[in-house]
Amino acid sequence: MTSPQDTPLVRGGRGRLRAETLRDLVQVADTPLGRGVFARRKLVAGRVLGEIVGDVLAVEPDDPSYCMELPSGRVLEPAAPLRFLNHSCEPNCELFYWEEEGALQEDRLWLQTIRTIKPGEELLIDYSWPATAAIPCRCGTAACRGWIVDPEELHLLPPPASAGDGPPSPPSRS
């Protein structure tokens, strides 16, 4: 049985086995909207990339933008590089909890790929924020909900403003 502490082993340069770390797999780089996390190499679907390490806090810090909610009610403020994971309504990665002997490891979050990711592609997760924390989404995917929000709470929000660059269309006259 695999435990989350087991780092995947790969063949090193001289035939030796070496542990492949998260930093071998991803790097932080600039995007038009700040920093993001990008694949250094091809990542297959279902690949566990690593634990989201960071500070587990009882209450949200002043700037909760990077925080992830935990089932215990606490929040996880991730450290780099996974602090810079951006949102998409059509993500290629997801967060998950590990169960050990039937017990959820409540304060630990892990990241895995949902589909194959090409070298240089940005890693994206669905933030699924509660409606009270939602902000307009500009991910630009066909599945975009218009808001960065949990799909189950989308109905609590007004229709998103037009993402077009032009002025709003005038009301139609009859």
Using CB under 5 A as the criterion, which residues of the chain lie in contact with Zn ion when the complex forms? 89, 137, 139, 144
CB of 109 to Zn ion, least distance (A): 21
Residue 128 CB, nearest approach to Zn ion (Å): 11
The tokens describing 140, both together, are 């630009």
What is the C-alpha separation between 36 and 24, in angstroms, rounded?
A: 16
Taking the least distance from each CB to Zn ion, the nearer of 144 and 157 is: 144
Residue 28 or residue 144: which is nearer to Zn ion going by CB? 144
| Smallest distance, Zn ion to C-beta of residue 48, A | 25
- Cβ proximity to Zn ion: between 119 and 136 the closer is 136
Residue 41 φ/ψ, nearest 5 degrees: -150, 175
Shortest Å distance, C-beta 64 to Zn ion = 20
24 to each of 14, 37, 98, 111, how far by Cα in Å?
Answer: 17, 12, 22, 15
Q: Are 80 and 53 in contact (CB under 8 A)?
A: no
Of the pair 28, 139, the CB lying nearest Zn ion is at 139
Residue closer to Zn ion by CB (options 86, 113) is: 86
Q: Residue 35's beta-bridge partner residues?
A: 30
Instruction: Mark out the alpha helices in 3-137 (DSSP H runs).
Output: 22-25
Nearest to 45 by CA among 118, 122, 144: 118
Q: How near is the Cβ of 149 to Zn ion at its closest, in Å?
A: 9
Residue 33: CB partners within 8 Å, gap ≥ 6?
86, 138
